[in-house]
């Protein structure tokens, strides 16, 4: 299972610590540059207001199975959290599409580090992807709680 | 960028054509078997009602850049759709977690084919992942529309 980079991400976030706690808290414009050989797959992409963006966390630690989060006192299993460190560091973000310039997507709400390899882009569909009443005991239920690093139920 | 399988999916869907049009339309129980060496990453997972599940589409065509969908008359770019065929066939589903049995997650709303390699599991968080007003010109806005293969705005 060998991944092929479909492009590269240009971002103002140069290293860990520069980025906010979650992509949804980022208001910076980020550029998803799709390599020319994959540009045909961008046909019709401007029909979408939001896109699922998968990128490779090339600076992640793949050995990490449990880690502390901003919202927990004890380490959580990485499959129970959104830790960037995990066996396959495939980062998932929902991007707001701002505009398309040739083979470059300008988006917001993505906090990828500069130079991250781009893996996939998909249409986000509210009917299948928006679960509004999910209970997560590991992540606060509001963006404010995430921003402030509250405990999940605080 | 080499992926490591963290487990394997056991599913009643044996081949393409067995599965419904979208995972959200599947009511079958599916088993996500996590291999023992990664089981520590499952700690606290039952705090989550919903999980992001990434699996490898090992029967996908990675050369496909445009394809017809049930909701379009003309081919769409695969980055504008949810086609299983794409350069990096990383399938994304939001699963309803039913229960955990040792290192096996029993879930619903996942239509993966039997034997698909499991790549990643993450907590789904409504505050960051549920965009209720996304406009997708390539996918119907209701599950009924998806089920019936309507045009997006029909």
Dump the DSSP string for A52-74: EEEEE-TT--TT-SEE--TT-SS
pLDDT at B17 over 90: no
The backbone torsions φ and ψ at residue A126, rounded to the nearest 5 degrees and listed phi first, read -55, -35
Nearest-CA distance from B147 to chain A in Å? Answer: 11
pLDDT, position B138: 79
Q: Is the ipTM here above 0.95?
A: no
Show residues of chain A in contact with B142, CB under 8 Å: 127
For B24, the closest chain A residue by CA position comes to A128
| Radius of gyration in angstroms for the set of CA atoms belonging to chain A, rounded to a whole number | 16
- pTM, two decimal places: 0.93
Question: Taking the CB of residue A132, how many other CB atoms lie within 10 A of it?
Answer: 11
Q: How far is B29 from chain A (nearest CA, A)?
A: 18
Give contacts of B43 with chain A, Cβ < 8 Å. 66, 75-77, 80
Q: Are A52 and A84 in contact (CB under 8 A)?
A: no
Average pLDDT, chain A: 91
């Amino acid at each position: 299972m060998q991944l092929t980079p479909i492009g590269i991400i240009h971002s103002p976030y140069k290293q860990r610590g520069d980025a906010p706690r979650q992509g949804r808290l980022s208001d910076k414009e980020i550029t998803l540059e799709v390599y020319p050989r994959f540009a045909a797959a961008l046909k019709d992409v401007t029909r979408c207001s939001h896109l699922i963006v998968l990128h490779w966390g090339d600076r992640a630690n793949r050995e990490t199975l449990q880690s502390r989060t901003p919202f927990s006192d004890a380490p959580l299993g990485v499959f129970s959290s959104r830790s960037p460190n995990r066996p396959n560091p495939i980062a998932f973000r929902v991007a707001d599409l701002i505009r398309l310039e040739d083979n470059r997507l300008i988006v917001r709400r993505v906090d990828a580090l500069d130079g991250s390899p781009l893996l996939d882009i998909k249409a986000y569909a509210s009917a299948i992807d928006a679960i509004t009443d999910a209970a997560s005991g590991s992540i606060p239920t509001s963006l404010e709680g995430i921003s402030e690093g509250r405990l999940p139920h605080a």
